[in-house]
Structure 1
Amino acid sequence: MATLLETWRSLAYGDGLDDKKKEELWTNYFTIEKGIYEKILSNPTEVVEGTVKELAEKYGTEVLIMTGFLDGINESLKGYENPIDTMAEDTVVKIEIDPEKLYYNMVEAKASWLYELPQWSEILSAETRTELYKKQKASGTVRRQGHKIYPNDPCPCGSGKKYKKCCGRNA
């Protein structure tokens, strides 16, 4: 039986949906994601804890969408990561954001609809946000000399996704 994460990734990145359905899925996902971040960033020191199913209910979404959200935020948490690869609906997870890490990762993901949320002005100073933005942009993408990356190659960032579905999407 597939894990929640495998089911989410298969749906979101797999070949099961045509382009129009995939676009609808992502448009819907980004809207829900933005709403969840608006709630989390309005009280950035709150530690949100519960099962995957409880958090999906708390934020008014489906378990699979919550799984995608938890996958996306996992590297931006304070000092720990949730068991994303193995979690089920009844797995207890925790969201305690590291604001600087989260902002940096949003810039890295080119998610302007998230790193430009007005809540950030209450959390990080304009100087800190500018510094994190510049630091992330300066990190750049490491490319091996003379090696062309093709759309179906694994992404060099190490995400495990195809280049065209990851860093190559906005290239």
Structure 2
Amino acid sequence: MSEKSLLDQWRDMAYDRNLSKNELETFWSRYFTIEKKIYEQLLDNPEEEVRGTVKELAEKYGQDVMTMVGFLDGINDSLKVPNPIETMDENTDVTLVFDKEMLYKNMVDAKADWLYELPQWDKIFDADTKKKLYREQKQSGTVRKAKKIGRNEPCPCGSGKKYKYCCGKNA
């Protein structure tokens, strides 16, 4: 057995620098197709608490263990209780109990339109809710600068002094 964790093995395979650009595109294209099929099944019954070992879930979804590890890595941030992906082996018990809103937002964040546009989402969220979640996720990554305080404006600490004589003195 390899000394590397399953997750490290997956990442070595998925981000192999020895593969050509074409080989990597083929690998990821194949993976995204598999990922989409698994999400379609999960979203068809979003209330089902899917549990089992890594190996059992791989068999349930008709995948090899390494592909299932990649899927678990991708969905982990959207789970109600994260799986121990850093240390898991094929006999580790894992769950796929996900937070629907978090999963949708994470798909938007990953720019995975083939996932957040799945028709199964229509049974879970109405159009307005999907728009709201999409907007919330997009805005969460927007950095907004605070309004700059002018030197001669009243100090925001409430002292009544000009900013330049109060909190701005040492700035």
TM-score range, shorter chain: 0.7 to 0.9
CA distance in 2, matches of 1:55, 1:141: 37
In the other structure, the counterpart of 2:25 is 23
Q: Which runs of 5+ in 1 are unaligned?
A: 143-171
Which consecutive segments of 4 or more residues in structure 1 shift more than 4 A?
Answer: none
**Contact (CA 8 Å) 1:12, 1:25: kept in 2 or not?**
yes
Please report how far the alpha carbon of residue 141 of structure 1 lies from its aligned counterpart in structure 2 after TM superposition: 5.6
* Alignment TM-score, normalising by the size of structure 2: 0.80
Q: Give the CA deviation at 1:16.
A: 3.3
AA aligned to 2:4 is A
Separation in structure 2 between the aligned mates of residue 22 and residue 141 of structure 1, nearest angstrom = 31
Q: In 1, distance between residues paired with 2:137 and 2:87?
A: 30
Unaligned runs of 5+ in 2: 144-171
Higher Cα Rg: structure 1 or 2?
A: 2
Query: Secondary structure in 2 aligned to 1:101?
Result: helix
- What letter matches 1:123 in structure 2? I
- Give me the CA root mean square deviation: 1.3
- For the residue of structure 2 that corresponds to 1:105, the secondary structure is helix
Q: Are the equivalent residues in 2 in contact too, given 1:11–1:17 (CA < 8 A)?
A: no
Pairing of 1:99-118 with structure 2 (within 5 A): 99-118=100-119
Alpha-carbon deviation of 1:14? 3.0
> Which residue of the partner structure matches residue 35 of structure 2?
33
Report the TM-score, using the length of structure 1 for normalisation.
0.80
Which residue number in structure 1 is paired with residue 149 of structure 2?
A: none
> Percent of aligned positions with the same letter in both sequences?
59
The match for 1:66 among 60, 65, 68 is 68
- Output the amino acid matched with 2:41: K
Q: CA deviation at 1:138?
A: 1.0
- The aligned counterpart of 2:9 is 7
Q: Report the Cα distance in structure 2 between the residues aligned to 1:62 and 1:23, rounded to whole angstroms.
A: 19
1:134, CA displacement in angstroms? 0.5
Aligned length: 142
State the alpha-carbon separation in 1 of the partners of residues 142 and 93 from structure 2.
35
